[in-house]
Each structure stands twice: as C-alpha cells, then as structure tokens.
Amino acid sequence: MEIKNMNNLPRSCQKVAEYSDKQQYAEAGFWEKLRIQIHILHCRHCHAYHIKNEELTRLLQNHQLKFLSKSEKEEIKARLSL
Ligand SMILES: [Zn+2]
C-alpha cells in the first residue's frame, strides 16, 4: 500500500498518522480530535491507515497482548503489514 511511504503523504496526513501510531490520540485536545476525525473521514489514505490501526488495537486488547514484549508486538504489526 502506498501509505507505507510517509514522505509521499501530505503534511496533514503525516500528522494524523503520527497520532494513530503513537496512540497520542487519547491525549489530544477536543478540537485536535475533531480535526483528526474529520480528516480521516475525508481522506482515503488516512481512512485506510486508521482502520488498520484500529484492527491492531482491537487485536491487542482482545488478546490482552499488552504483556507481550516489544519484539512480539512488532511481529504482530508486521503480520498485519502495517
Ligand atoms: Zn490524510
């Protein structure tokens, strides 16, 4: 998927991806969250990326994988081809 090359993304998309990746989203302010949500709804790239991330988050929560090591989590990420 072309989204893999972050440098090709518009600046605004990179910011949204950053939030998604680093799970900073929960710490973002109300307007920031709203801005991200609206962007995701309208942006094909970010929408696809966001869905992938949601899948991963759900998977991690469902299986309580938070006790896994960093390398094990990386392996799961790789399998989901994020
Ligand atoms: Zn975008």
| Ligand 1 centroid to residue 29 C-alpha, Å | 19
pLDDT of residue 1: 41
69 vs 24: CA distance, rounded Å = 20
Cα(25) to ligand 1 centroid in Å equals: 15
Per-residue model confidence (pLDDT) at position 3? 45
Question: In angstroms, what is the span from residue 12 Cα to ligand 1's centroid?
Answer: 6
* Predicted pLDDT of residue 24: 60
For the chain, the distance separating the N- and C-terminal CA atoms, rounded to the nearest angstrom, is: 9
Domain limits for position 71 = 6-80
pLDDT value at residue 82: 58
CA-CA distance, 8 to 2, in Å (whole number)?
A: 8
pLDDT value for 54? 80
Q: If 0-12 CB within 10 Å is exposed, 13-18 middle and 19+ buried, where does residue 16 land?
A: buried
Inside any domain, residue 1: no
Q: Is 48 exposed, middle or buried (0-12, 13-18, 19+ CB in 10 A)?
A: middle
Overall domain count for the chain: 1
In a domain, 34, yes or no: yes
Predicted confidence (pLDDT) per residue in 22-74, tens digit: 656 667 788 888 888 899 899 998 888 888 888 887 877 776 655 667 787 78
